Structure 1
Amino acid sequence: MSTHPPFPSPEHPILRGAVAALNPPGTSPLPVGTRIGGDVVEGVLGSGGFATVYRVRSPSGYVSALKLLPLDEGPERAERAWREMSLGTRLSHLNLVRQLGAGQWPLENPRYLWVKLELVEGPTLDEWGLASGRTLGDVVDRALEVARALAVSHEAGVLHRDVKEANILVRQKTGEAVLVDFGVAWHPAYPTLTKGMFPPGTPAYRAPEAWAYGRAHAGEPGAHYRAGVGDDLYALGVVLYRLLTGRFPFRPAEHGGEDVEAVLHRTPLPPHLVNSRVPLEVEVVCLRLLAKRPEARYPDAVTLCQVLEELRARTDVDWTGVLHPERRRPVKPWARWGRVLTVVGVGLAAALGAWWLGSSQEVAPGRPEPEPVRAVAAPLPEAPPPPAAAPPLAPRKDSAPVKQPPQTTSGPQLEAAPKRRSAAVRNACLGLTGAALQACMGAPQQVPPERPAPPPQACPAGAVETMTGTLGLRIGERRSMDWNDVRGRGVQVHEDTPLRVAGNWEAGANRWGKGYKIALPNNTWLFGRLYVKEGRVYGRFTEARTPLGVVYPVCLELLDTDGHVGLELWPGSGPGKMLVDPVVEVRVVDRFK
């Protein structure tokens, strides 16, 4: 990024951090070229809570952010503006946003207070964390840098009171974290301005002692919670937990808002159960920051810095390990439509090509196959799945002889299998005509070589607790899934092919009278192992990865859409080639039998 980037959009990261602002009612942005405090306005950076923020340039060419706070919108607003300016002069550190100057504007009859701030070029910490390849060392380094910023701030008597990822920027040039936006900070030299129970802040980062005070003094006139050092440290614990796991320590309440009962009385799920790549040495620090009582946390930010520095110096921890290897940003809607159109186009081309091929075989069977037909007759390409993380349940034996499924059942079950198989054959041959249709319907079904069935197996460590506690699933609960969006044709799968959760998996979706919550979001991938036994494909899934990279241990078995364990092979299956129905189900179990 250049030293003087082009005019930022209203979504520039500075708006969610150092320059929380709001255009004063009834006013318009200042025109480009307006001079304030010797700097020239180049445009509006955006708006937020209390002020308008402009990009300004000094006569020497230095670009900064100028925060314009109104003084004529009531005494509380004016006092907050003066307080922010004064607090900024007390703080100076590499990991704190620098205040470069302040004053009133216009000089005659001033209506605004301006504060000039360093323009930190770079993403907010949550945006930074979305990028793939963030290592454990990267995350702990950012937490240490924020802890240093809090140590300097607290030493000056300043409590931030709104520590969160949106108020932490990561410098583009150096990669260091910068704590910004002291608009709701507190210092003992200043009177309390808040009239409500809690000081300004973000509820998801509010400490348990604050919620406890609110309950104890509910309805009490004039009751106001006064934050302390422990509140900033707890909020940093929430930030660290999110960086390690991709989720908040506690899920929202059933009907929205914070689950205060959980914050007050429940211990967060240990980070290593959410993301197995989190080492216990780091987990201990994170959970201590989230302790229910402030005295159980670190006594101050200085002590936290010492702990993190000593931890980071350890050589028995793999600091280069990537925390969220599959993390990626959500797909934009137009990109999804592009995928749909591609699938539709390829499917249409395949149907036309198959019809043309059948006709050409009738007219000129000895004629060489034209190039276009070879292209459309090839199998539909599939996007390569992410690498499986679960250990193999059975060894691969591709060289084993082909076996026909033995007839081991009798009665109604014997009749049901041929019916399902004939339906599968008709679906597979759908769209073909002439000789191609006859060849397809008459083709014998080959069965891939069988793998030895794995013995009964316990679920992964913490899987049952995660499914029933964290995710809210019930043992025996079933959910429809799919391997792709193409219906009417078999999907080729391998032993380690993951399964996609299409649509949000709502916990307790078949329970009446209760609000649902999302257990696993749309496009979560399930990882495990598939194997063939007696002509059916069986599967055990032991890990779920959400689109944001959150990893859950799970215990799910594969079913067909009729609820039978395992899937029937489609026509065209052969050695090393398993074709199955694109739509399947999984069932929550507490043990693989």
Structure 2
Amino acid sequence: MTATPTGTPPGTHIDGWQVSKELGNGGFARVFLGEKNGNRGAIKVARHREVSGDFKQTHARTLRELTALLMLDHPNIVRPQGHGYTATGNVYLALDYVDGWTLAEWSERKHPTIREILSVFEKIAGALSYMHRRGVLHRDLKLLNVLIRKSDGEPVIIDFSCATYSLAEDLTEGGLPPGTERYRAPEQFQFLREHKDEHRARYAFQVADEIFAVGVMLHELLTDPRPTEFRPRFALNSQQFEPPPPRLANARVPEVLSDLVESLLERNPSRRPVDTEALRREFADLRADPIVDYDVPAHPPSEQHPSEPDTRGPLGAPLPIGPAPLKLHVALLKRPHRPARWLVAVAGVVALVVAAALWGPSAEISVLPPEPRVSASPRPPSAPRSTPPMTAPPAMSPPGPSPVAAPGPAIAAVPKEGSALKNPAPEVLTQGRTSRMPKKFVAAAECASLSLVAALAAGCPGAQIRPESFTCPAGAEQAMRENLHWTDGDKFTLVLDDRHGREDVWFSAGAEVVGIVPKGTGARRQLEVAPVGTRFYGKAYYLSDKMGRADGPALVVRYDRVKLPGQDEQPVCFVVEATAKAFKDGKVKAFNWDGGTVVDRWP
């Protein structure tokens, strides 16, 4: 029987565990289904040995995962059953086997009501609160890393391969800790920009980062009826634009819940809930609210599975469907309240573009910071909601004198990955957090929808999205050099968006795209290091000037991840600049076949 890349062939034994099928694999380990004494377990085997020169230090990370899990004992957190070494010298962990669906699969298969979603997230927040009190941070919360157990519907947080804890050894090579880009808080990218020239700068991951990731998970479940499918999605951690309120994408989402999700995705970490216990109380308050809006499936089942009609509620009653999105937008035009902040951001970008066109590059434009949110109060606040505990939360870093820093990203001279676990302090500690009330939206609702891209396509005038200068994602330089054997300046040819052929295609500015190396690519160097089937993951942008390209407007695609056939995903810096043939309503037309370059930054 053929051995796996970890040296663990299915059908063999590891310390009495009979290994069978593979359950999954990632950058640090592979997971197999195992059985021992009639019990099933998830056997997680580290990919590399310590003597292999593995820059990811997968053995050290696996042992740190074990240490973190041994510090925890909670019904909504996966439990370890044992650990040791395989015959090939690879560290393994035996974990509880959870027979369940990922959060995304659960949403599509079970058509949960909003109240059921709130119940799940209340338990997730409770598990996180328990974890944080013990000094442990997960650092890779996402829909794939929470399973809903089939037997009882309980959520279970899994995959602690990126986790850290107080006094943990620093294993990170780059400025940011390991994690999934889409779920990173925006302050992490701000940190990279501010400290791009400081080799030893390391971002201090905080509880606020976990809260942002929870917000991304909840936003995706409430706005996307089929979250398991790959498609371009709005970047909720975009540096230029704040995410749209969930209610504008899905009219079934109650305003107070939409408002809560917005607070979890706040750009300023001090405006998010003060900690995960406060967040748990937020979810508990909403779940206990008796209004019928919470007993409606978050999405019509017919949108999730077309074969299933959406006619009756959980108890056989007709579903109280909210207003259709288009009607909602029209209604918003008639409401005399201030516009949602993300629409203001769109208007601000339009204004900047117009101003730049009128005054030229020498003009200086001042942009005022966004005003604090103040909303009307249609329902009385509940006393305990979001109120910080009367006593200070347990310290999540080792005791000792340390300076008090302002909330947000921090830099440590010689940091430890688990040494900065303090959540940013709330803006007003003595009064607590202001209770959250439903917000009212206004203004040009025909430009409001799920994403900025859709807003542009709907006719917002003059908006053009161009990428900022950027540095490589964390670990990209080393991954390209040591794993991929790429060098700065290597040129590869690919189909820019694999949903289309070699033809002129309209790319949505700011949207995610997946490129692929197709058959017929003959360059020998490329076939060696980026062969046929290699997939590139990135975003499309539009340049209206000659920046980076001598022949005029350009489509720029920045790819920050790559997956070679049969290998794991790797962080990269790869940029394609293609001639833009047209630009209209937030979309740029270009030929869907071009060459790109390996870079260390752009431009």
Return the TM-score normalized by structure 2: 0.50
Mapped partners of 1:214, 1:247: distance in 2: 33
Equivalences for residues 89-128 of structure 1 within 5 A: 89-106=70-87, 111-128=89-106
Deviation at 1:121, TM superposition (A): 0.7
Letter in 2 for 1:118: D
Aligned to 2:61: 80
- Secondary structure of the residue aligned to 2:266 is coil
Could you tell me which of 31, 39, 46 is aligned with 1:62? Answer: 39
Q: 1:433-472 deviations in whole A, cap 9, x for unaligned?
A: xxxxxxxxxxxxxxxxxxxxxxxxxxx9864122695512
Report deviation, 1:131: 2.9
Amino acid at match of 2:508: Y
| Pairing 1:48–2:48 present | no
Give the whole-Å Cα distance in 2 for the aligned partners of 1:327 and 1:212: 41
Q: CA distance change for structure 1 residues 264 and 91 in 2, over 3 Å: closer, same or farther?
A: same
Cα separation, partners in 2 of 1:23 and 1:190, compared to 1, 3 Å: farther
User: In 1, are the aligned partners of 2:253 and 2:298 still within 8 Å (CA)?
Assistant: yes
Distance 1:314 1:46, change over 3 A: closer
Equivalent residues in 2 for 1:218-229, closer than 5 Å: 218-229=196-207
Could you tell me how far 1:47 is from its partner in structure 2?
2.6
Asked if 2 retains the 8 angstrom alpha-carbon contact of 1:64 and 1:118, the reply is: yes
1:194 lines up with 2:172 in the alignment: yes
Structure 2 counterparts to residues 172-571 of structure 1, below 5 A: 172-246=150-224, 263-316=238-291, 318-328=293-303, 389=324, 463-466=445-448, 469-471=452-454, 472-475=456-459, 515-517=507-509
CA contact (8 A) 2:226 2:304 kept: no
Q: In the TM superposition, what is the alpha-carbon distance from 1:257 to its structure 2 partner?
A: 10
**Contact 2:83–2:94 at 8 Å: present in 1 too?**
yes
Distance change in 2, residues 1:331/1:269 (3 Å) = same
Who is 2:484 aligned against? none
Question: Is contact 1:159–1:186 with CA below 8 Å preserved after alignment?
Answer: yes
- If asked which structure has higher relative contact order (CA below 8 Å, sep 6+), I would say 2
Query: For residue 298 of structure 1, what is the amino acid of its counterpart?
Result: P
Q: Give TM-score, length-normalised by structure 1.
A: 0.51
Q: 1:233 offset after TM fit, Å? A: 0.5
Secondary structure of 1:57 counterpart: strand
Partner-residue secondary structure (3-state), 1:140: helix
- How far the C-alpha of 1:44 sits from its partner, in A, is 3.2
Matched position secondary structure for 1:153: helix
Identity, in percent, stands at 32
CA positional deviation for 1:115? 0.8
Q: Residues of 2 paired with 1:225 and 1:247: CA distance?
A: 34
**Secondary structure in structure 2 of the residue aligned to 1:288:** helix
1:214 positional shift? 0.9
Instruction: Output one character per residue of 1:116-144: Cα deviation in whole Å (capped at 9) or x when no partner.
Output: 11111111111112236321112111211
Shift of 1:43: 3.6
Structure 1, unmatched stretches of 5+, are: 1-21, 333-385, 392-459, 478-503, 507-511, 522-587, 589-593
How far is the alpha carbon of 1:293 from its aligned partner?
Answer: 1.6
The one-character-per-residue Cα deviations of 1:286-315 (angstroms, maximum 9, x if unpaired) are 111111122111111111111211221112
For residue 221 of structure 1, what is the amino acid of its counterpart? Answer: H
Q: CA deviation at 1:205?
A: 0.8
1:515 CA displacement:
4.3
Aligned pair in 2 of structure 1 residues 312, 387: CA closer, same or farther (>3 Å)?
closer
> Post-superposition shift, 1:331?
8.5
Runs of 4+, deviation exceeding 6 Å: none
- The residue that corresponds to 2:415 in the other structure is none
Query: In structure 2, do the counterparts of structure 1 residues 476 and 113 end up closer, same or farther at CA, with 3 Å as the change threshold?
Result: closer
Distance 1:328 1:285 in 2: 25
Question: Alignment RMSD, CA only?
Answer: 4.0
Give the secondary-structure state (helix, strand or coil) at the position aligned to 1:65: strand
Whether 1:164 aligns to 2:139 is no
Shift of 1:78: 2.3
Q: CA offsets per residue over residues 536-571 of structure 1, 9 Å max, x none?
A: xxxxxxxxxxxxxxxxxxxxxxxxxxxxxxxxxxxx
Distance 1:475 1:271 in 2: 21
Match of 1:30 in 2: 9
Q: Taking structure 1 as reference, are residues 122 and 145 closer, same or farther at Cα in structure 2, changes over 3 Å only? A: same
Alignment of 1:562-581 (within 5 A): none
Distance apart, 1:258 and its partner CA:
8.2
Q: Is the 8 A contact 2:141 2:214 kept in 1?
A: yes
Q: Helix, strand or coil for the counterpart of 2:33?
A: strand
| Structure 2 gap segments, 5+ residues each | 308-320, 328-441, 462-496, 514-584, 586-603
Alignment check: 8 A CA contact 2:234 2:452 kept = no
SS state at 1:151 partner: helix
Counterparts of 1:233 and 1:185 in 2: how far apart (Å)? 15
The letter of the residue matching 1:242 is E
Contact 1:132–1:327 (CA<8 Å) still a contact in 2? no
The Cα of 1:170 is off from its aligned counterpart by: 0.7
Could you tell me how far 1:328 is from its partner in structure 2? 4.3
**Structure ID, larger Rg:** 1
Between the aligned partners of 2:242 and 2:21, the Cα distance in structure 1 is 47
User: What is the CA–CA distance in structure 1 between the aligned matches of 2:63 and 2:121, rounded to whole Å?
Assistant: 30
Q: Structure 2: how far apart are the matches of 1:180 and 1:236?
A: 14
Matched position secondary structure for 1:319: helix
Deviation at 1:92, TM superposition (A): 1.3
Residues 222-250 of structure 1 show CA distances to partners (whole Å, capped at 9, x for unaligned) of 2221211010110000001111111899x
Aligned-partner Cα distance in 2 for 1:326–1:248: 10
Q: In the aligned structure 2, how far is the partner of 1:156 from the partner of 1:476?
A: 48
Distance 2:168 2:106 in 1: 35
